[in-house]
Amino acid sequence: PYQGHVTYLKDNGIYIFDMELGKYVYLSPQFTQLLGHSLNDLMVLGADEFAALFHFDDWEALQVHMQEVAEAEDGEILEIEYRFKTADGRWQWCLSRDSVFDRDEEGKVSQVIGTFLDISERKRMEEPLRDREAMYRGLVDMSPAIIGAVGFDGRILYNSPSAAAFHGVESAEELVGQPFANLVFPEDQPMAAEAIKTVMQQG
């Protein structure tokens, strides 16, 4: 019944989700092809069985997302990334963009239309980057030297843990957001400001 309202996109699966039923009521061929579930497969599942198709670690974010969709304005598009179990038991990373499709007589969102994109390959490529970032952050955190980052507005973005004892605060995070100049001896501030200006201009 929804075929006339839905435009098929080559790289995206399309679905309509019924908020009251808590299930999909329409799936485009692309969605079925990417995840292996047919609409009939999903419709016969109980609420708990259907919920189990979403990764447990993503449930909290999904619940927040659905609440935001329920409160969304017409035409507003909300995104979320999550893992969904395929018909053969694999966890596949998905990117969904959801929007209000229909409302009930009281104006509450009754159905949501969304597009689904398989982002598993992108996630696999991001994992080594996250591992390297964690390694570098670990090295910085363990360094006895004070390592920090200052934004173009002159405010502190990051300080390594060793900065806490040096500046007499309990946590280096207390320094984040403060002007860097506040940590410099007044007579040395012009010299420090010139040094920072040189770095910003010359790299």
SS3 assignment for the chain: CCHHHCCCCCCCEEEEEECCCCEEEEECHHHHHHHCCCHHHHHCCCHHHHHCCECHHHHHHHHHHHHHHHCCCCCCCEEEEEEEECCCCCEEEEEEEEEEEEECCCCCEEEEEEEEEECHHHHHHHHHHHHHHHHHHHHHHHCCCCCEEECCCCEEEEECCHHHHHHCCCCHHHHCCCEHHHHCCHHHHHHHHHHHHHHHHHC
* Span 188-196, average pLDDT: 88
pLDDT digits (tens, 9 = 90+) for 41-52: 888 888 788 889
Above 50 in pLDDT, residue 2?
A: no
Above 80 in pLDDT, residue 5?
A: no
* Span 134-152, average pLDDT: 81
Side chain identity, residue 26? Y
8 A C-beta contact, residue 34 and residue 136: no
Amino acid 152: pLDDT: 81
pTM over 0.85: no
Lowest mean pLDDT among 6-10, 91-95, 154-158: 6-10
Lowest mean pLDDT among 45-59, 89-103, 119-133: 119-133
- Name the pLDDT band for 188 (thresholds 50, 70, 90): very high
Amino acid 67: pLDDT: 94
